[in-house]
Amino acid sequence: MKERLQKIMARAGVGSRRKAEELIETGCVTVDGQTITKLGTTVDSSVSLIRVSGTPIRMEDNVYILLYKPKGFVTTLCDEFNRPKVTDLLSGVRERVFPVGRLDYDTEGLLLLTNDGDFTNELIHPRFKIPKVYIAKLKDRVEPEKINVLRNGIRLEDGWTKPAKVVVMKQTSAFTVLRITIYEGKKRQLKRMANAIGHPIMELKRIQFGPYSLGQLQKGEWQYVKRLEVIGQPQVNGKVFTKNMQKKIENKSSQPFCGEKSKRS
């Protein structure tokens, strides 16, 4: 039976349907040797060979991996400049996994990789408001009124940012270190927010994504983890998580979740 190509890819764990569509449009997907770039293409997966970046897709058990992404790696799996990819760090992982969301080439920190397309969608879809926590080092001393601008929302070229939680961790005349929690995922959002208030980001590290945190992982290390529920009760006053879930996230912010830690790559 023929189905839309992006639906088959999502079910096979390539990523969310949105991610599958991006891979199709950028020419990373072939069907029986022919590159497909048109969305809506239908395929019979029982008779056709589908490849993503040269690797055949297949139905397999879902796996979930936390990686401490170092700087100098891209989260895309189809990079025109042939730069090192985060999947290069996953020595010994047999399943074909894909990053949940993105971290810039020069950004480090927590990155979740999985072949569970539905779970990926739960984590990245804007309507679920999954919190992402970063430690950001901004240039110069940031005055309180500008920090409040970050908290309240900034108008960027693609619209207003939603309110963010901002905690000042350290300040000198040369830099300011902030802990920032955002609930959306605009492209290069924090860097653009910082530029908008006149204090470019010098260093950026993600320490938490929904119920997952870096824990004791070091740069380049990864570990298998369990799938944790990220969606609570139906939204009430814009809140997605139940009180118990939010408390669990806060309590786990400095602890690794169970899983098998790898050796450093």
Catalytic one among 32, 44, 88, 104? 104
Residue 32 falls in the annotated catalytic set: no
Whole-number Å distance between alpha carbons of 13 and 119:
10
From the CB of residue 44, how many other CB atoms can be counted at a distance below 10 Å?
11
Contact (Cβ atoms closer than 8 angstroms) between residue 114 and residue 13: yes
Using the Cα atoms of residue 132, residue 136, residue 138 and residue 142 in order, give the sign of their dihedral: positive
Structure tokens that stand for 265 in this block: 């790559």
Catalytic residues, which ones?
104
